[in-house]
Chain A
Amino acid sequence: MPAPVVVFAVGNRSRGDDALGPMLLDRLAAVLAAEGRGSRFELIDDFQLQIEHALDLAGRERALFIDAGTGTSAPFSYHAIEPASSVATHSTHALPPEAVLAVYRKLTGCEPPPAFVLCVRGESFELGANLTPAATANLEAAWTHLMQLCREPEFTD
């Protein structure tokens, strides 16, 4: 049986604030291991979302997508998402979370699990750069929110 909760963190650790998602995932992994709750969560870290991530949604009760965003309000946004009406893109290079849900629906004929996006505002995505000061602050705010989320009944029961 897959873990009830799947958490995707998307980003490139080598590109400044793009590392926000993977960094949050690292912290989460450490806390879950320390608290002995790792079996309820599967944590997936990747450059970008792709069609096969739809397969990682099977059998889940909840899905959470963590990513850096440039258009989101600071320090972060958190919202439920629904399957996109189309997965159309000009390129095969990446899918937004809503499209991953749509791929799941297309492949299985079933509705995906309730899914949410935690989008942390990033400012700079330069190759080789560290987190910006603003993103570091946003990371802390998002981490507090993520910890609250992971203690809610939907994530713990």
Chain B
Amino acid sequence: MTFQLETAAHPEKLRRVAIDPVSRVEGHGKVTLLLDENGRVHQARLHIVEFRGFEKFIQGRPYWEVPVMVQRLCGICPVSHNIAASKAFDAIVGATRLTPTAEKIRRLMHYGQIMQSHALHFFHLCSPDLLFGFDSDVARRNIAGVAREHPETARRGVLLRRFGQEVIRVTAGKRVHGTGAIPGGVNKAVTIEERDALLTHVYHMVAWSREAVRLVEQLHTQNPALYNSFGVFRSNMMSLVGTDGALDFYDGALRARTDSGELIFDGVDYRGYDRYIEEEVKPWSYMKFPFLTSLGKEKGWYRVGPLSRIQNCDHIPTPLAEIERRQFLDYCGGTPMHAPLAYHWARMIEMLHAVETIKDLLHDDDILGDDLVTGGPRALEGVGVIEAPRGTLIHHYRVDESDLVTMCNLIVSTTHNNQAMNEAIRNVAKRYLNGHTLTEGLLNHIEVVIRAFDPCLSCATHALGRMPLAVELVDAEGTVVGRLSTDGAATEGGAD
């Protein structure tokens, strides 16, 4: 199965452009474009080296090590992996229902994680050069103007993120690599002093989060022609949905909708995810392409993450975020929004919801309890699914009678979005790059649409000297004819 612009008819006759955003030791992304002599795009592909080594690495390890070890997958969302793995192992230790204290502390931790991750994105969004490092044009001037009206936004973005991390520290023990969630519950209670310290700041965080929604809304409404169309493609959507159709990041059932908003499935017990989702392997990509089994490879691909969640749920169970969700839906005019840049708006609504939920949980004395762990009859298999900041995260394990892991399957958010991100870059390539001399500004359009998804690059490895964005232009013979980098250095021969 191939999609338009996925595979060129005669690639040997075309010029190759490689956009290599970051060459990491493990996990990296690259965009390749094949152009003809007139600069028309014949093929556009996003390659992300998916992190598969971990699934092999943990085979043969005792199951109780796994929730800690999985945090090494990603330095940005270790809590998500810790909680998803712990949920899977809840089933294995027979903890079919956690104690109220354990579940609420896990929720607090997870919503802190959503908040800090979304706040990080907010900081990036508040930098016009980051959102649109385009060549000078009207769109950029508008965005810069919005940012000028909000001089405090960058500082607030950083403080919002730090608050989210403080929530994680209080619940997990450490800001990064904490070990709060364990099979059957949590291993750390919240003290009154910790709770009160967070309560001191949480109301500011709610107010700032609401202003963040306003800011992003303003960006959209000032330039709907751009924001509603940039890289737009239609797709199915999938997410967990909680009780009564509520937005829920921690638990629920799987729901999928078509591009026009009709239900494909609903109320699906996530333990049977593999009866509803399959993964296709393509020879040109290390990362698999998931699709909904009932629709098949061609029509069954979907997107996950904030834009799907906000439109897939029936309501948000906190008042301010629900107001913002309704406003967003009004803006969309009663039909699903598919524009990638709308991820930013949806993400800020989710951040507001996360902070409101944190506030409510801090007022719930259950989080101060000491009944932290439960258990029951052992099982040999468990599935844990949560909504991580970037989308649905699936952890699936089997263990043997000796408590050793025999099988692990992870489907991370970025994998769910693989086809969607490819569609987005193809649309951007067609609309903005076709027939033009390629400049750094034009190539940045590709980066902007990738940034909307904020793909996870399994970046738990960090090595200096591997960070710059590099764009290499290679002719049909494989000769490098030009090079660009985002720091403005090392330009050789131009990008055309």
Contact = CB atoms under 8 A, between A and B. Distances in A.
Interface of A: 10-12, 14-15, 18, 46-52, 54-55, 67-72, 84-94, 96-97, 103, 106-107, 117, 119, 122, 125-128
In this complex, which of A47, A51, A69, A97 has the most chain B Cβ atoms within 10 angstroms of its Cβ? Answer: A47
Contacts of A72: 464-465
Contact of B467 (A15, A68, A96, A126): A96
A12 B78 CA distance: 12
A122 B450 CA distance: 30
Interface string B4-41: 00000000000000000110011001000000000000
Contacts of B22: 89-91
A65 to B, nearest CB: 8
Given A86-B486, A89-B469, A94-B75, A12 B461 contact: yes
Nearest to B19: A90
In this complex, which of A85, A91, A107, A128 has the most chain B Cβ atoms within 10 angstroms of its Cβ? Answer: A91
Interface stretch (B157-165, B223-231, B293-301): B157-165
Counting from the closest, the 10 A-B pairs by CB-CB distance are A47-B75, A71-B465, A125-B25, A69-B464, A90-B21, A48-B462, A14-B72, A93-B459, A69-B465, A90-B447
A18 B154 contact: no
Given A68-B463, A71-B464, A93 B456 contact: yes
B51 to A, nearest CB: 9
B154 A107 contact: yes
19 contacts: A14-B69, A14-B460, A46-B176, A50-B161, A55-B158, A55-B162, A70-B463, A72-B464, A84-B487, A85-B487, A86-B487, A89-B130, A93-B459, A94-B459, A97-B464, A107-B155, A125-B461, A126-B26, A126-B53
B486 to A, nearest CB: 6
Interface stretch (B120-128, B273-281, B394-402): B120-128
A136 B450 CA distance: 38
B349 to A, nearest CB: 18
Main secondary structure of the interface of A (DSSP, over half): loop
B76 interface: yes
Contact of A12 (B75, B124, B127, B130): B75
A19 B461 CA distance: 9
A107 B157 CA distance: 10
A10 B75 CA distance: 11
Given A14-B72, A107-B155, A52 B464 contact: no
Contacts of B121: 92
A92 B124 contact: yes
A60 B147 CA distance: 29
Contact of B72 (A48, A87, A127): A127
A40 to B, nearest CB: 23
B184 to A, nearest CB: 24
Contacts of A94: 75, 459, 462, 467
Interface in B54-83: 54, 57, 69, 72, 75-76, 78
B72 A107 contact: no
Contacts of A46: 75, 176
Contacts of A97: 464
In this complex, which of A18, A50, A67 has the most chain B Cβ atoms within 10 angstroms of its Cβ? Answer: A50
Given A18-B461, A88-B469, A92-B120, 6 more contacts: A12-B460, A14-B69, A48-B75, A51-B123, A52-B158, A71-B464
A91 B447 CA distance: 9
A55 B156 CA distance: 12
Given A15-B26, A51-B123, A91-B451, A96 B464 contact: yes
B57 A47 contact: no
